[in-house]
């Protein structure tokens, strides 16, 4: 079955970087993109960006443009998201989701399935 499995909980200090992985299985990795979404404690969902599984093209939300890098490793069907210069307000659960653009207008895509989420806590 189609599945996304993310890496485990992270605790980081302000100013550090974190890299979250998202291992995909059960589908052709290069035929879909991966979208990253985060959710701060008690808050709603926030779209961070998208990466193509085919050629690595990316789209980032403007607020993350200079601190977030999304990459893929086709050989291992794994997507990665690195957040640099972490701040306390980056504390959140980070989700990856498979993005299907077919039949969709716009680059949001339909996000299905989602990974289980990775909690990143930023604290001194």
Partner 1 sequence: QSVLTQPPSASGTPGQRVTISCSGSSSNIGSYTVNWYQQVPGTAPKLLIYSNDQRPSGVPDRFSVSKSGRGTSASLTISGLQSEDEADYYCAAWDDSLMGVFGGGTKLTVL
> Which CB atom, from 8 or from 103, has the smaller least distance to partner 1?
103
What are the tokens at 121? 């806590």
Does position 95 interact with partner 1 (CB under 8 A)? The reply is yes
> Which CB atom, from 59 or from 67, has the smaller least distance to partner 1?
59
Does position 106 interact with partner 1 (CB under 8 A)? The reply is yes
* Residue 99 CA: distances (Å) to CA of 25, 81, 96, 110: 14, 15, 9, 6
Minimal distance in Å, beta carbon 15 to partner 1?
A: 26
CA 83 to centroid of chain Cα atoms: 10
Does position 8 interact with partner 1 (CB under 8 A)? The reply is no
Does position 110 interact with partner 1 (CB under 8 A)? The reply is yes
Q: Is 124 exposed, middle or buried (0-12, 13-18, 19+ CB in 10 A)?
A: exposed
C-alpha 34/C-alpha 32 separation (Å) is 7
C-alpha 103/C-alpha 84 separation (Å) is 34
Segment 23-82, which members bind partner 1 (CB under 8 A)?
Answer: 35, 37, 44-47, 50, 59, 61-62
Task: Give the binding site for partner 1 (CB under 8 A).
Answer: 35, 37, 44-47, 50, 59, 61-62, 95, 97, 103-108, 110-117
């Amino acid at each position: 079955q189609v599945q996304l499995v993310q890496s485990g909980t992270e605790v980081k200090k302000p100013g550090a970087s974190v890299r979250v992985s998202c291992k995909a299985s059960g589908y052709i990795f290069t035929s879909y993109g991966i979208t990253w979404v985060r959710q701060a404690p008690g808050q709603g969902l926030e779209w961070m960006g998208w990466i193509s599984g085919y050629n690595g093209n990316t789209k980032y939300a403007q607020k993350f443009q200079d601190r977030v890098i999304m990459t893929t490793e086709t050989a291992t069907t794994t997507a990665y998201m690195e957040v640099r210069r972490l701040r306390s307000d980056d504390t959140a659960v980070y989700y990856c989701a498979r993005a299907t653009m077919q039949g969709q207008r716009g680059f949001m895509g339909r996000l299905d399935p989602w990974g289980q989420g990775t909690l990143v806590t930023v604290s001194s």
